[in-house]
Amino acid sequence: MTQKELNYIEDAISHEDNIIKILESTLDYLKDESLISYFKSEIKSHTTLKEKLISMMEDKQNG
């Protein structure tokens, strides 16, 4: 994997982190249970993606 590709992965991790923070901060203001459930699902989804990206980057840097 090239350095440019690693930089793209780093950017994607940063974007996922920002999305998670926005979702979490918005969650504090929600009252509707269906929206709360949806936001929690999205947080989980973006957290999983962020973890996969981190793992992929670590694998490429170590191997």
Statement: residue 2 has pLDDT above 90: no
Q: Average pLDDT in the 38-63 region?
A: 92
The rounded distance, in Å, linking the Cα atoms of 51 and 16 is: 10
- Tokens coding 26: 């918005």
Question: Tens of pLDDT along 29-43?
Answer: 999 999 999 999 999
pTM greater than 0.85 (yes/no):
yes
Rg of the chain over all Cα atoms, to the nearest angstrom: 15
How much is the pLDDT for 59?
85
Domain hosting 49: range is 3-62
How confident is residue 63, by pLDDT bands cut at 50, 70 and 90?
low
**What total of structural domains would you count in the chain?**
1
